[in-house]
Structure formats: C-alpha cells, structure tokens
Chains A and B, each alone.
Chain A
C-alpha cells in the first residue's frame, strides 16, 4: 500500500468521526502544576542551593569580531575564594551544531570571538562578588577584525569572513523548486512582488537562563530550563566527552522557552567544566541583559515575495527570497531558514513554488528558533494576498478559503493533510469577528485583518522524534507515570496526567508524574516542534492502555466478567452491565504483586514521518505527523496624528484536533495573541552595529496584561486520526498568524501596505505619509 492510500484510509476514518464519551479528556481541569506555582513552591534553576555550591560568572567579548591572541585565566585563580577558572583551552575541541553540517559553535572559542557578549572565559568562586572580581583579573589579548552586521552586506564578495568553512558567510541555503514558476507567472492575471522586513524579537522568557552543574565521581548532573533534556544531554555528552548515561539532565520547573531552550547553551558547558575542575556544584545565573545579549534570540528577516494569481483568485505561483540574519553561529540554521515557508505551504495550495531561504552569518548574537519565527515572511504574504484580493474585487476571506488546503490534499512539498482544513477556523473566526459586516465598511482609520497559517505537529528529528512512557500501579492503587515530556509552562505535564487519568480511571491527584529526567525517562523530542501532546501524549496513552489491559485481565478473573464488560472509573473496576459489581483498583494491584507480575505499562509512539526527508538535501515527503490550522482576526483603530494603534478586539480560531484541557488551549491561544499580535506593534530588537540597545524589559517592549485586547478564542476540533484522543497541538498557529492579522488590519485601516515590523507609531506615520504621497 502506498503512503497516499494509507493516508486516504485514515482520512476516511476521520470523517466517520471518533467521538467518544470521555470523563476527563476535554474537561476544564485544574492543571497538575498550578498548586506549586501559585504557592511559590515550584523550584526553578536559580532557586537551587546545593552544599558547597559555587557561583559562576562569565567573561564576555567586548568585540563584535576579533582574533583571540591569548587568554590567561591564572591571575583569577590567585584571588582568594576563586575555585576554578576556564577558557576554551579547557574544552575538548568539539563544536556544537544541530546538524553534522552546521557544527560551527565552540562553546568557549579559542580562535576568534564573533559577537559582542560571546562567552570567552569563566570563573567559579565562593560568592558572586568574588567571582566578579576574578573576571577582571582574567587577561585576554584580542586583535580586532572588521565586522559585518547586515546579512546582505555579509554576502558581498569583499565582506569580512566570519567562518572559514562558510564562504560568502552563507550558513545555510534552503532551495525548494516545485513546478514551473516562470510559466505560471506568465499565465497569471496579476503578478505582484513586495519586500517586507521585520526586526528580530527577544524570547523574553520571564526566567533568565540559569544552570546548576554538579560533577561527582564521574557523573554529571544538570538542572536548567530546557525544552528537551534528552537532546541536551546528548549534546553535552559530545562536548564533554562523557558517556551519555553519565550526563543527567534533571527535572526542574521552567519559566518559559518559546522555542529558545531546545539547544545546549554555552553556560551548560561552562558550568560543567567549572564543576569538573573544582569538584563542587556550580551555579550560573544570567542577568536579564546577559540573557538578551549572549543567549540565542530571534532572526531579523527580509522577505521578498512574488505571487501570481488567476482572475478568480486562485494562486498559480509563489516565488520567495528570504534572508535571515543568523548572527555568529548556526544554531538551528536549516530549520530556521525553512519554517516560515513550510507553515505557509501547509496552509495554502501552491501548484508552482520556488523558495530560497538564506541564513547568513553576521557579527551579532546567535539567532535561534522562536515560536513566532518568520513574521516578515508570513505577515508579508498575508498582506500581499489582501492587496491582490482588492485588485481582483474578492473578499480577503474568500481568497484564503479558496486557496486553503483541506483534508486529503498534499502540500507543495508532498506532505499529506490528514485532518482539518483552513476553511473551518477561517469561517468561524470571521463569523465571530463580524467580518462580513466590517471588512470594507469600517470608518476611516479603523481596520480589520485576517491571518492564516498551518503548523506541523512534530517535525523530523530522526529517531529523537519518538517518545516512550512507563507507568506503574502502586500498592495503594495510585499510579506513577514516567515520561520524557517537558513542561515549559504550557501545561504538558498536566496533559500527561490527564491522559493517564482518563485511561486508568484514577483522579488526576492519584497520579504522580516523573518527567524530563534523562536517567529515568526514555528518549523524547521534548517540548519542541509541537511534539509533546502528539508524540508524548500518545506514548502516555499507549502505556496506560497497556497497564489498563493488565488490570482488566486480572479483574475479569476476580469478578468473573468478560474484559469487554469491565471499565475503570473513579479508582474502581466496574462491571458495565451491573455497576454494583465492582472492585477497587488497589485490590487488583496488590493481587498483581502477589503474583509477582506488577501492573506496569509501557508505550511508545513515533509520528508517521518520512524520515528520508532532509531540510536541505531532500525537502520533500511527509514532514510531520499532522497539521493544525488556524486563523486570527484583528481589529485596530489608528490615531492618525500620533500613529498609535489600539486593538479593541481580537478573535482567533485554532484547530487543535481535540482540546484535552480547553482551558490550557485557550491560555496558549491568549498568550500567543499577546506574544505575536500585540508584539507586532511593540517588540523588536534595536541595534547599534553589534550592540543590542534594548537588552532589558524596559526598552524591549513586551506588552503586559493590561496591554491585551479583548480576546475571543475559538477551539476547532477536527479529531486527528493519529493524535491522542484526536489531539494535535495547543495553539501555535496563533503565534504564527496573530502578527499577520494585525499587519493586515493596520494595512486595511490605512489603505496602504505595511513594509516593516514592528508597527511602532513612527512607522505608522510614515505609512500615512506614504499614502498621502501616493495620491
């Protein structure tokens, strides 16, 4: 059977419906992590205190680009209270890269520094004051080199070379070519080309990066906010030349990730070296400013978009050139240079398409993946589509629905859509927002706009795409669930507990979750690429079903009833036909121990992905397990004198497959409106060459709760055939379409296309003036 036949079969099942009568799934349950968080009991990395723990501080590069001639940390060691000092000379010469072909990052460089704020050397001392004093004693001799900050300038033939192995400073070039774009443009009724720009954003997690490393008897323990402990542990095992089972990344609460905490950080490596040298646990906590300057942040992007359509609005061809300012190192290079394109082709039908994404090295801080990544590209596409619709006299909603993908179709790069479609969230959001009574009918300076996207749920991470779970039933009838799932605040832990509760018939409080600890839990992709519910949740479900079957088999014997007539409800095994006939689950678990066959379930899941697919060498085939569709509608009002935007109303519809906890999904959606939508007005990194001018939360304008618009969320449930209980992911479409809705609404209000994000009031006035000039 071909893949398409398999998918076709699955699609039929979906349409037939999978609705079941769930007891816990779909309920607005209180999340299992809330009590610890609201009472302040939740412990974060910076809170940790271990006996004899030392404080680490990092010496950072003052230069954007300079050769390191010499580093001498020995004067620091002479300061009383300093227990260890390290530089790149203490490393093992292994460079980090997400891919074999992007291994360019020496966590402590020995040859050159490539950005202001790069980690150069570090000390561990008995307290922070001593550590700071010791930093001043370290001697580094630099030879400053010419630097380059703009990616277009960096690609010029005479530009300074940042890495010898990457000529022209091109870190990654993603090239996709489907159909015949040139002919399609010739056949098009309208062809339009525009260029859009956006400043990179800061992740601005509320918890700045912190790490504790403890090396003891050849074993290394870590605690740090991370989105994937297993991926992190493997990277550290490579960098430190220690076997994987001696590198243990342990569970800790995390104050946000947003895509930015999946990779190993220089601080992990540095604290490990310091702990190995001193024999003591070592803690490093970055300041807000250090966090912004030295940890990975978000790409500046310039996107040129050319679109050809038929007279009826059907998209015939798209041609894209996107340039990503990657900063000094690769990070997630090929992924970052691809994702904006993919989440767009997953939403719309492109019979002919050409995409060239260049991620370019510059002497800025390292740029990584972000939940809202690609706003210049995505908002640019959506605004351009509005302009085309206007020229054709078509409603922008209709042109989106017309070109939107649906169940059973394939994306341009050959991924099947196995549940949902773009039309449903689009229609639902439009209806709730009063689209048809508003679009084109609002008074001057008021506008309404729509942004659409579709997101992959789990993308190819090789064998690391799989998740496994182990569940054991204890002698009191309670359960312990062990999984590599990571919770960075989005509610993944609670999701796992809720699934276990449903399957095992136990209240959520009877289930203890042991998660994200690499020496206890099995390999897991982590909270990355929207895989937690789809892969991790599926594994939990399968493990619990495995345990459930064991309970039912024993109960069948004890109650003398057929397995299929039994159910698990509220800590009891119950006979469906005769509810009076029942037995506590704890009796079964005890009986199982007597028989030396304890109730223990295992379950694993790997998404049905084409694992031959590769970001650069083979960008075709099934990209992900499934796709979620989403549409946002923003309303704005613009003060034409000051350029100030207010956003009275925001509606967003997201197809999460099935909302395991609707409250958690709504929370994700609302947060995403803020993080992408309101941020489209306020957020952007400001630079003076290699210096970040707003590395703080005062000048980097993260909107606060009182800056939020009135938000209406609509959960669409397409019941994915593969997802656990039909679930996909919990709200990422909003992170990647909210800015488009805002940019489209602003462009609608002013009757002029935006060209750069964020839409700060000075840019809005420029737009108004440009429009005046156009008249």
Chain B
C-alpha cells in the first residue's frame, strides 16, 4: 500500500505549526513518530492534504525534572522515557507500561505524545479502504451502523495506549496549545468517551507536554496480549499508590481508560476495585480474543496488581 500524495511541512516552532493547521483546517494532520499515523494514512483512514511534522520543534523534545513535576515533551520517544532515571526509580507503573509498548525498535520511533493520542482500534476498522468498502463503512468511517456489533448504533473501537492508563494513575496533566493559547488539563479529560471520536481536543490543538507529579510512587502495569514480542493490549491495567491513596486504570477496552480511586487502608479494597473495574468494562467481539475472556481478565489483572502492591507478588 502506498502513501497518497500530500504536502509535507516541518515547522520549527509551535506557533508556525498551529498556523499551518489553521490554514488547512480539515485537511491537516500532525506527525510525530508516525508509528500510528503512517499506517492510518496508508489505509486511507486519514486523507490529509498536508502533514505537519512536529519533530523539528525542539521544545517538545526534552524531559525536565523540577521539584514538583516531571515535564515531558510530547516528542520524547517511548524508549528515551523508559530509560529516564526518575521514571525507573519513582514511577513503576509508567516504567512497566513503556516497556510493554510495542517492541523496542518501535519504542525508539514512537513518541509519548503520539502514543497517548493514538486513535481507537477495531478489527473491522484498521483495514484498507478496499476491504472496508467491500464490507460497508461502519460508524467510525461515517457509515450508519457498527460492523463488529451487528446493527449497533454505537462505536466500540478500543483505545489501546499502554501508557495512558499508567499516566492517569499518576495524576498526569497535559498541556495543550491552540490558536487561543495554551491550557493545562488532567490527562483523563482529553477523552470524549466516544470510540468514533475519542478525543476532546479542539481542531488543531497540539499536545505539547505531559506533567507528572514528581513523587515517589508504588505501582505496576500488566497487560494481556497474545504475542509477547509485539502486541497492543487486549486488556491493560495500571495502578499507582502514594501515601496510601491509589488509582487504578483499565485500558484496551472501549473508548477511554476507566479509572478508579482507592484507599489502601480500606478493608477489602482489592476485591472491591477488581469487581468494580470488571463490572464497568463492556468489551465486544472486535479483537482477537473473546469479550467474555477480556472482561474476566480485568478482574484477574486487578487482583494481581493488588497482590503485588500488597507485597504478595503477582
């Protein structure tokens, strides 16, 4: 499959990138590592007339540690981030999720910003235009009904970032820059909850930085996949704990990571959040493993995380 023709720009500053986007509204996409975007363009899931490459914007390439935050530029690669000493020593959930992302060669190309903003996926959606046309366009492609859940008027594509759930458990915030200036919001707030249009970002807004509170945490990330060497999560579960207060997040099922707060001192907290998390997910038959199984695995993974956090091992 070849890439269609498009204009390619590589601005050096955010302002220029925003201007380029505004001048080509509806036809422009931002590119960073490209590991998610380029296959999407090849499959004609995106049809940009202009691709704005953000890799030359040097302010997005740095990791900075201050007293209160670990500030990560959106262009920082998964590989760079997983090898950062602060992440290794203090943010075990994120260290795990970065390690579990794709494979090492892709980690060296893919960026943390792109990983968080990756589009939702479905067996019936991530296909060539010819395949999708033959099948009949689904809701996410502008059709009338879902192809995975026959006749459904709702999209069930899965958000499959390994890292977003881990970041959510760490109370991560993101900075977004747009034509009207920049804003900083919790990471969890960028999700619309709708699989067909998963993000709340304004058109043209750029996720520039990720801010993680600079605290020492306990935690971990576990995922279910068929192939260990390289696979998106079929279920992902992350938890982080600081001073007895914890957050659990579930990814890989549905439009966005679901998250649940817990208090380590509460009696039976582990069983409670495991049940709660499993009861809130609604997997459907749109991945290579059965939905019943994936729902069960939410409970299993959470219980494992709980055991690990309680010092019992996975």
Contact = CB atoms under 8 A, between A and B. Distances in A.
Given A642-B224, A686-B123, A760-B289, A691 B1 contact: no
Interface stretch (B22-30, B164-172, B191-199, B226-234): B226-234
Contact of B123 (A287, A643, A694, A765): A694
A691 B229 contact: no
B145 to A, nearest CB: 14
B130 A761 contact: no
A128 interface: yes
Contacts of B231: 698, 701
A761 B229 contact: no
Contact of B1 (A62, A289, A706): A289
Interface residues of A, number: 37
B134 A62 contact: yes
A289 B229 contact: no
A760 B2 contact: no
Nearest to B287: A699
Interface string B225-254: 011111110000000000000000000000
A762 B224 CA distance: 11
A643 B301 CA distance: 12
Given A128-B2, A707-B228, A287 B128 contact: yes
B135 interface: yes
B260 interface: no
A3 to B, nearest CB: 49
Nearest to A288: B1
A337 to B, nearest CB: 28
A763 B134 CA distance: 31
A648 to B, nearest CB: 13
Contacts of A762: 289-290, 292-293
Interface in A268-293: 287-289, 293
Interface centre among B2, B127, B131, B229, by most chain A C-beta atoms within 10 angstroms, is B131
Interface in A688-743: 688, 691, 693-696, 698-699, 701-707
A703 B227 contact: yes
A765 B300 CA distance: 12
Given A129-B5, A691-B134, A707 B227 contact: yes
B134 A116 contact: yes
B124 interface: yes
Interface residues of B, number: 33
Interface in B195-230: 224, 226-230
Contacts of B224: 642, 644, 761
A694 B229 contact: no
B81 to A, nearest CB: 21
Contacts of B289: 760-762
A707 B227 CA distance: 7
B230 A704 contact: yes
Contacts of A696: 126-127
Given A703-B229, A704-B227, A760-B288, A289 B127 contact: yes
B222 to A, nearest CB: 9
Nearest to B299: A641
B153 interface: no
Interface in B100-147: 103, 123-124, 126-128, 130-131, 133-135, 147
Given A116-B134, A128-B2, A701 B227 contact: yes
B226 A293 contact: no
A691 B132 CA distance: 10
Contacts of A641: 300, 304
B297 interface: yes
A761 B226 contact: yes
A474 interface: no
Nearest to A758: B226
A345 B118 CA distance: 52
Contact of A642 (B123, B228, B292, B297): B297
Given A129-B5, A704-B230, A60 B130 contact: yes
A704 B232 CA distance: 15
B296 interface: yes
B113 to A, nearest CB: 22
B288 A686 contact: yes
Contact of B229 (A644, A707, A760): A707
A682 interface: yes
A706 B127 contact: no
Interface centre among A116, A129, A702, A765 (most CB of B within 10 A): A765
Given A706-B228, A765-B296, A693 B2 contact: no
B229 A704 contact: yes
B302 to A, nearest CB: 11
Nearest to B122: A693
Interface in A609-650: 641-644
A694 to B, nearest CB: 7
Contact of A760 (B147, B226, B230): B226
B269 to A, nearest CB: 20
Contacts of A701: 226-227, 231, 288
Contacts of A693: 123-124
A688 B124 contact: yes
B298 to A, nearest CB: 11
Contacts of A702: 227
B131 A293 contact: yes
Contacts of A62: 130, 133-134
B300 A706 contact: no
Interface of A: 60-63, 116, 128-129, 287-289, 293, 641-644, 681-682, 686, 688, 691, 693-696, 698-699, 701-707, 760-762, 765
Counting from the closest, the 5 A-B pairs by CB-CB distance are: A62-B134, A762-B293, A704-B229, A701-B227, A762-B290
Given A129-B4, A293-B131, A762-B292, 11 more contacts: A60-B134, A642-B297, A682-B226, A686-B123, A686-B288, A688-B147, A698-B231, A698-B232, A702-B227, A706-B229, A765-B296
8 contacts: A129-B4, A287-B1, A289-B128, A644-B224, A682-B227, A691-B135, A696-B126, A704-B103
